[in-house]
Structure 1
């Protein structure tokens, strides 16, 4: 037993000639074509779901302005201050992301939607109209998802393909992933369709408080559920086939 700290392993390291680094054991990398390699590739591809939709941070950026609007409206009982408060928060999110040199895609889409809702609500004087653009967007999004699945260009695949590096090989070379992306897209149609089904009837009642609080409550949970379902589907799908570039 060596008296060096670390025992025998330290002694063996000390005996190595100068300039030769000790070999450190690492976990073996699965060989391409093996079941373990395919499982690891599928897991890596499945985890891109969170990245594609902006993660929890992106969902917060799109949800908090609606919460600020309904709180400010309850405090002031006026549409304009509530609308400006929500718009100001959305703009702040964009500024913060720019300062940190982060992507502003989701924050910018949020401020765009809030700006339209704020303008309509102030123009009409009806607080419930602040939520109208978001409701119409939800309907349009679900319709687009359904149409894309029907024509065999599922939007989930279109969105994730560039992130996973497969581009559109899933459509021409990988029927298992085409089926998985189609299944995931239909899952988004069903899950995200819950929001407009619940909220549109409330919009027509003019119950701003209930509409606002439910809009906030139905912001993040359905999206998290849709992302989880997609993740589970892609875990069981064949691994992506990387697209060949001109330099390869």
Structure 2
């Protein structure tokens, strides 16, 4: 990240918050990436419910849909970044469900992933390498040259820490709901919770981040390449 970055990446950016809004919109993949993540989960729940609790059929349909979405991206020659993540997650969930013969097992990888992400986000805050900062960096067209340039701006780090606390809250809510349902083998409720705590919860989290970004006015530092988050 150099002194010219705010002009190059987002010409109207005058604050850290405005620059982060621009970067996150690039990194998160927009509505289509979110839809591609949600569709296989919805399909698994619906097929399982309508097929008389046939775990194998539900898993096959979910994986097939994820493959179709990936193929559509290939045909359109667009980025596979988000749909491949959805395909991998769907494949792992299907493997767990089919291998165990229990539909609730399809939700175990997601629960474990949320627990791991919760630990990771808390650690990133404690170490002053907030997770959201990496998303911001991913939206920088110069990321290949300087992937950690965002960290040299103290204001950027401070704002990213606040935004990362929103992610912590998302994972806490998800685990607080999913773990008891999994322990009680409440498959139907797990399905509903998986959908509600997926895209809708992320929308809520992003809305909170957006409010924080709109309400904040942290100035961009003119020469971030010469400073560290500690001001040295």
TM-score, normalised with respect to structure 1: 0.76
Measured after TM superposition, the shift of residue 44 of structure 1 is: 4.3
Measured after TM superposition, the shift of residue 226 of structure 1 is: 1.9
Tell me if the contact between 1:49 and 1:230 (Cα under 8 Å) persists in the aligned partners. no
For 1:129-208, what aligned pairs fall within 5 Å after superposition? 129-164=105-140, 165=142, 167-172=147-152, 174-208=153-187
Tell me if the contact between 2:133 and 2:157 (Cα under 8 Å) persists in the aligned partners. yes
1:121-180 CA distances to partner (integer Å, 9 max, x unpaired)? 1111100111111111111112111111110111111221242358433322x2111110
For 1:1-248, what aligned pairs fall within 5 Å after superposition? 39=14, 42-77=17-52, 78-164=54-140, 165=142, 167-172=147-152, 174-235=153-214, 236=216, 237-239=218-220
CA distance in 2, matches of 1:211, 1:139: 16
Measured after TM superposition, the shift of residue 42 of structure 1 is: 4.3
Q: Secondary structure at the match of 1:103?
A: coil
Larger Cα-atom Rg: 1
Tell me if the contact between 2:29 and 2:82 (Cα under 8 Å) persists in the aligned partners. yes
Q: Secondary structure at the match of 1:72?
A: helix
CA distance in 2, matches of 1:234, 1:72: 40
Measured after TM superposition, the shift of residue 232 of structure 1 is: 3.4
1:184-203 CA distances to partner (integer Å, 9 max, x unpaired)? 11111112321121011101
Tell me if the contact between 1:170 and 1:241 (Cα under 8 Å) persists in the aligned partners. no
Unmatched segments (≥5 aa) in structure 1: 1-31
Tell me if the contact between 1:184 and 1:230 (Cα under 8 Å) persists in the aligned partners. yes
Tell me if the contact between 2:23 and 2:137 (Cα under 8 Å) persists in the aligned partners. no
Q: 1:81 to 1:162 in 2, by over 3 A?
A: closer
RCO higher in 1 or 2 (8 Å CA, sep ≥ 6)? 2
TM-score, normalised with respect to structure 2: 0.81
CA distance in 1, matches of 2:79, 2:185: 36
CA distance in 2, matches of 1:91, 1:99: 12
Unmatched segments (≥5 aa) in structure 2: 1-6, 226-232
Q: Greater shift after overlay, 225-234 or 53-62? A: 225-234
